[in-house]
Amino acid sequence: MEPSSALGSDLDPNILAELPEVEKLLKISGLGVSAWATKSRISTLLKDGTNQDYYLKTTAGDLGRAAINGEFESMKAIQKVVPGFIAPAIAQGSMKNEPDCHFYLGRYLPIIDELVEPSSFCEQIARLHRNSVSPNNKFGFHTVTFNGDLPQKIDYSDSWESFFADGFRHMLDINTERAGPSEELEALLPTFFEKVIPRLLRPLEGRIKPSLVHELGNWRPERNKFSKAYFNAYHTYIPKASPEEDYEDRIILYSLRFNLHAASLFPTILGFRESIIQDMTYLVEKYPEGLSPDFEA
């Protein structure tokens, strides 16, 4: 999966075909290049005389095409449940002039360097969680989604515990492939999968429903700058799942998955894997016996 170099001063005909309302292309401004995609702001004059900017992401190869498709389908799903919450997705496709280059097209919204106000943001997140409905009442998604160049395991499952564990194993395999093995991490995994995950997630079975962007684990890492105010605001709309006494440890468990993503995206930054080992050690030491013998689902 690589960034596309196909974007010059003109837009590919297949991109322009998705913008029938555009009279004139005014400017293409670069928004940065990652290891897997190129992002641009497309400034245009519409046929009605108004100006409109669009967001364009381009990438190359089969993996890039899959990532573009995953983003487009995800954005459409969010847009359908909470209109106005995100910049609307417009189209995806492959370029006419370079068929191995692929694009995602959406409305452009400027990014500001400040955090959103907790209450209004969390109300919309809660609406997304509350109102989204799985088409088959299973955990999963109908197409592969990506975090950067990481394909996520999204196969449908009846069980949240199984879905989470399978996705975690998948990301562990990618992390080992990219960063090499870790004896310290490997030693924790049997208890983590056999005791910790069942202890924290099996009590939720039958009490929670599949929803888009299911949990809040990516809010916990300090680098993402979500303070307790965001968790508190969210829970004014949606209460903590029962058993509530496990809540903080469930958030730690969920955050492990996102730190594992970071450790796989940036394998040379050792702190990500170190934080995984630290949090996993805490959970393994706290729940060495797993579920109590008298637990009933």
Please state, in angstroms and rounded to a whole number, the distance separating the CA atoms of residues 199 and 293: 11
Global pTM reads: 0.90
HSE (CB half, 13 Å, CA atoms) of 53?
12
Q: What is the pLDDT of residues 220-238, one digit of tens each?
A: 877 778 889 999 999 999 9
Q: Note the pLDDT tens digit of each residue in 91-150.
A: 999 999 999 999 999 999 988 888 889 999 999 999 999 999 999 999 999 999 999 999
Least confident of 8-17, 43-52, 200-209, 237-246: 8-17
Domain definitions of the chain by residue range: 2-107, 118-286
Query: What homologous superfamily is domain 2-107 in, according to CATH?
Result: Phosphorylase Kinase; domain 1 (3.30.200.20)
pLDDT of residue 3: 55
Residue 63's contacts (CB-CB under 8 Å, 6 or more residues apart) are 1, 149, 151
**Tens digits of per-residue pLDDT, 163-201?**
999 999 999 999 999 999 999 999 999 999 999 999 999
Section 234-258 average pLDDT: 94
pLDDT of residue 295: 74
Query: Could you identify the residue written with the tokens 């983003």?
Result: 71
Please name the residue that has the structure tokens 């799942």.
241
- Which CATH number describes the domain made up of 118-286? 3.90.1200.10
Fold agreement (2-107, 118-286): no
* Lowest mean pLDDT across 83-97, 170-184, 282-296: 282-296
* Token pair 């997140």: residue: 125
Q: What is the mean pLDDT of residues 81-87?
A: 94
Q: Which helix (H) or strand (E) holds 138?
A: none
